[in-house]
């Protein structure tokens, strides 16, 4: 089974595709959809949608895992994150994929064993768990 993971962000939406067969996991592909500061919010949302639709068309995952909304002290940050997440959900929904949502702390706890793990720790463990030659960039899902 192929699983698409998405870490939505307006300027750098991370994505990763892994294969899961029983307890065997493997990294297939990963990357970051970058949007420069010169792009408007609406242009960024279109690019997130297009980019993820392209990833889905290329790799044909059967399901998707997307970072759930989290509490943000800054209302503007929460709004923008929600918009980026919405663009990602539309791309996944159009492809007819089942979506599972995970809180960031839950993912970190599952991968590293600690909910407050740093991105570097998560990357190190992802590399080890998936048998990768190199550590994915910090923003890749």
**14-65 confidence digits (pLDDT tens):** 999 999 999 899 999 999 999 999 999 999 999 999 999 999 999 999 999 9
What are the structure tokens assigned to 29, written together? 């592909």
* Res 82: pLDDT: 92
Give percent of the chain with pLDDT exceeding 70.
97
Whether residue 68 lies inside any domain: the answer is: yes
Point out the catalytic residue in the list 21, 43, 67, 94: 67
Residue 86: give the domain boundaries.
2-104
Split into its structural domains, the chain has a count of 1
Q: Starting at the earlier edge strand, list the strands of the sheet with 12-21.
A: 24-34, 12-21, 2-7, 63-67, 98-102
> Does 44 or 136 have the greater pLDDT score?
44
User: Does residue 113 have a pLDDT over 80?
Assistant: yes
Whether residue 112 lies inside any domain: the answer is: no
Whether residue 12 lies inside any domain: the answer is: yes
31: domain CATH number is 3.30.420.10
CA distances from 40 to 25, 91, 115 (A): 38, 19, 33
Point out the catalytic residue in the list 7, 21, 43, 94: 7
For this structure, is 134 an active site residue?
A: no
Whether residue 136 lies inside any domain: the answer is: no
Tens digits of residue pLDDT in 76-89: 888 888 999 999 99
Give yes or no for a contact between 124 and 111, defined as CB atoms under 8 angstroms apart: no
User: Does residue 3 have a pLDDT over 90?
Assistant: yes
For this structure, is 67 an active site residue?
A: yes
Point out the catalytic residue in the list 21, 43, 94, 139: 139
For this structure, is 47 an active site residue?
A: no
């Amino acid at each position: 089974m192929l699983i698409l993971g998405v870490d939505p962000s307006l300027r750098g939406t991370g994505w990763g595709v892994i294969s899961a067969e029983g307890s065997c996991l493997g990294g297939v592909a990963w990357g970051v959809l970058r949007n420069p500061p010169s792009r408007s919010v609406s242009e960024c949302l279109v690019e997130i949608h297009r980019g993820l639709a392209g990833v889905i068309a290329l790799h044909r995952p059967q399901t998707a895992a997307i970072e759930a909304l989290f509490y943000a002290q800054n209302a503007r940050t929460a709004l923008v994150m929600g918009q980026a997440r919405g663009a990602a959900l539309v791309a996944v929904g159009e492809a007819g994929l089942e979506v599972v949502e995970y809180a960031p702390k839950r993912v970190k706890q599952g991968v590293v064993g600690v909910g407050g793990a740093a991105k570097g720790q998560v990357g190190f463990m992802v590399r080890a768990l998936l048998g990768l030659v190199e550590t994915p960039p910090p923003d890749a899902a």
